[in-house]
Structure 1
């Protein structure tokens, strides 16, 4: 069953999804009135959502520019990678123990949305669906504190860069299928391994891409 969310939590989740998917670029100023108008809500939940996202590290707030999407820090990525593996494998184990038939049906729909968006070349939509798939799966674990810390880690992770790598979204779709199959089978060990491999695969591809750009300056021409 989906958890109840306050208006500010709904706004925060909308903005998180936008930032992680790359729909809202790094460094962009987040204007409260524009967000409120888009979501057909008042300024108050938007303001509170931005405070929450600032605490989690998704946005930076100052008295002059207001709220802007936080930049990516490559120096912290390896540490964040290891923490993601540690916490997300625990969430997947919890989800495997608690998942219901209704949950599985919902996850299949989300995985299908991800694959369909990729097949249609709608990569931004696919990246947003990727966020929803993982977030919903982790909610099933009923470990809200762990999920909270994972969301903080997500703020510091280069999802937007990884998911723009050529062919990465398609490979991620296959990795989702493997993870979902283990979840359906109730095989916690296989689901945890699939999660670890999924996280590592994206990071390894990004690192290889960055190294290639450094060693081959003509790629920037």
Structure 2
């Protein structure tokens, strides 16, 4: 297990709010770098860390194994797995379905107060250093959550938070290039403009494009990394 870091960021707090299962705790530790690829996952140690019994830890590890985050090896037990490209692709496909669904409702019901909060988050994004990839991911999560959190479908919201947490675990330590950094801010600006103008259909299209472009970017980054490793 790598060196412990400070408390969870704003984005991580959002993703874990009301979801303090052992599964989410382990996944969050992977996402924040407390647990890294190859680390042994000893059930008794994890149970002590999370102040629970062994059975919930075992169940969480089996679930994480099914999602490709944990591997069980003969004679060495459970370990944090290496990255699986297929997992990321599936997560992005789910987000591409969920996020326009949330925004279609938000565009009809957004309040002036909520739009002001989006403006405030966007102002923080613009003030970030272009090399602050963690800050971008953190505030991007907060920006999207402000739009989605008002939705009545709490089951769908829990699914969204789970998939975003999985994305953090998959590429939370990868840098964001300056082109994608700037594109994210511009895409948020355009979305905000459409929401304020009351153009619901265009806002949904803009968000869909934003989610797809993000997925395409990370797919290209990971594909490039895998090619380098296999070269």
Give the Cα–Cα distance (whole angstroms) in 2 for the partners of residues 214 and 60 of structure 1.
19
Runs of 5+ in structure 1 lacking a partner?
37-41
Shift of 1:205: 2.3
Cα deviation digits, residues 156-183 of structure 1 (max 9, x gap): 4367369623222221111111122222
Q: Compared with structure 1, are the counterparts of its residues 78 and 6 closer, same or farther at alpha carbon in structure 2 (3 Å cutoff)?
A: closer
Q: Contact 2:69/2:83 (CA < 8 Å) preserved in 1?
A: no
Give the Cα–Cα distance (whole angstroms) in 1 for the partners of residues 152 and 102 of structure 2.
8
Q: Contact 1:96/1:141 (CA < 8 Å) preserved in 2?
A: no
Give the Cα–Cα distance (whole angstroms) in 2 for the partners of residues 197 and 53 of structure 1.
35
Number of equivalenced pairs: 205
Give the Cα–Cα distance (whole angstroms) in 2 for the partners of residues 101 and 126 of structure 1.
24
TM-score normalised over the length of structure 1: 0.66
Shift of 1:139: 0.3
Aligned residue among 197, 207, 219 for 1:185: 197
Instruction: Say whether residues 1:129 and 2:147 are aligned partners.
Output: no
Alignment partner, residue 202 of structure 1:
214
Q: Contact 1:98/1:141 (CA < 8 Å) preserved in 2?
A: no
Alignment partner, residue 95 of structure 2:
84
Q: Contact 1:17/1:131 (CA < 8 Å) preserved in 2?
A: no
Within-5 A mapping of 1:26-105: 26-27=36-37, 43=51, 71-105=82-116
Give the Cα–Cα distance (whole angstroms) in 1 for the partners of residues 138 and 61 of structure 2.
17
Q: Compared with structure 1, are the counterparts of its residues 24 and 207 closer, same or farther at alpha carbon in structure 2 (3 Å cutoff)?
A: same
- Please say which structure displays the higher CA radius of gyration: 2
Q: Contact 2:96/2:208 (CA < 8 Å) preserved in 1?
A: yes
> In structure 2, the residue corresponding to 1:140 is in which secondary structure?
coil
Give the Cα–Cα distance (whole angstroms) in 1 for the partners of residues 134 and 51 of structure 2.
27
Runs of 5+ in structure 2 lacking a partner?
1-13
Alignment partner, residue 162 of structure 2:
152
Aligned residue among 169, 182, 190 for 2:181: 169
Q: Compared with structure 1, are the counterparts of its residues 67 and 110 closer, same or farther at alpha carbon in structure 2 (3 Å cutoff)?
A: farther
The Cα RMSD (Å) is 4.5
